[in-house]
Amino acid sequence: MAAQFYENGLRFTCTRCSACCRYDSGYVFLSPVDLKRIAAVLAIPESEVVERYCTNVYGSAGRRISLAEQKNKDCIMWDSGGCSIYDARPMQCRSFPFWPVVLESREAWTDAGRSCPGIDTGRHYTKQEIEQWLRRHRANREQERTGCG
């Protein structure tokens, strides 16, 4: 098997710039663990998190729960100070940029860096750490398919 482009690791540090949270429509799917974490930080029941902050998304994977968006397409959890649940943000958010699609190639990594100022800066992640993030991301995606809420 050919060596991964990240064989010697990659640098990334979240700058909390909010570029990934704002101005563009998208889904932030929640696993049951994500939902529990968010409910704990907001100090409200999980059912209230779903009612106030989530939307149902129907597709080939069945019904999934996503964080809703504000009218301007910002994540519902974004406010003027940034992510209001940063320490409890969903795995989809916390595992970025170590997503399979971003780690497909050096070109995909570089492309993601065009909108994310944290890519190629700051903390060095080893190949083993990157692959651990990939495993966590994939495991979380499987949990999303089981539904929550």
For residue 86, give the nearest of 149, 133, 139, 38 by alpha carbon.
38
Distance CA 6, CA 10 (A): 6
> Using one digit for the tens of pLDDT, what is the confidence trace for 126-138?
999 999 999 998 8
> Using one digit for the tens of pLDDT, what is the confidence trace for 107-117?
999 999 999 99
Q: Are 112 and 118 in contact (CB under 8 A)?
A: no
Question: How many whole angstroms from its chain centre is CA 4?
Answer: 22
3-state secondary structure of 55: strand
Specify the pLDDT at position 98: 94
Specify the pLDDT at position 142: 75
3-state secondary structure of 66: strand
> Using one digit for the tens of pLDDT, what is the confidence trace for 29-77?
999 999 999 999 999 999 999 999 999 998 887 888 999 999 999 999 9
Specify the pLDDT at position 146: 53
11, β-bridge pairs: 124
Specify the pLDDT at position 1: 47
Token pair for residue 52? 């106030």
For residue 143, give the nearest of 103, 91, 88 by alpha carbon.
91
Give residue limits of the domains in the chain: 10-145
Name every residue whose Cβ is closer than 8 Å to that of residue 11 and which is 6 or more positions away in sequence: 119, 120, 121, 122, 123, 124, 125
